[in-house]
Amino acid sequence: MMRALMILLMVFWSGSALGAELGAFTGFWKTQCKDAFGLQIKPFGNEGKYSVSFCGPGGCFEPGTYRPLTAIEKDPAYEVISPDHIKVVGRGGSRTDYYKCTKDTEPTLRYKTPSHKPKENYPGRKT
């Protein structure tokens, strides 16, 4: 009886009782997977929390500076729709859909380069 109780407590505290193991949200999330920016979500520390950092071609925010460390499933600032779809509550209560585009937390992010050459002669151009 005591062993069953211990196993039940271990499952509950590990987060498995909620259907998600730590790392389930790990990856790079975007509103559209073609975007050159998005949210890096990865486990942080040993308290069952995630770091949610905004990233673009210039890099990512340091963990905990863009959004507070979070358990995601237990946080009212997030709504889990599916394992690959979450809603993030922003300032003012707006909700933005994010989709897991890759499990890689550090994908190469590039803006598209223009396919045309800039005009040589335009007002204000210094030569």
Task: Please give the mean pLDDT across all residues of the chain.
Answer: 80
Domain ranges within the chain, ordered by starting residue: 21-102
In terms of pTM, does the model score above 0.75? no
Q: What is the pLDDT of residues 13-23, one digit of tens each?
A: 334 334 456 67
Confidence of residue 110 (pLDDT cuts 50, 70, 90): confident
Tell me how far CA of residue 16 lies from CA of 8, 11, 22, 42, 75, in angstroms.
10, 6, 8, 17, 16
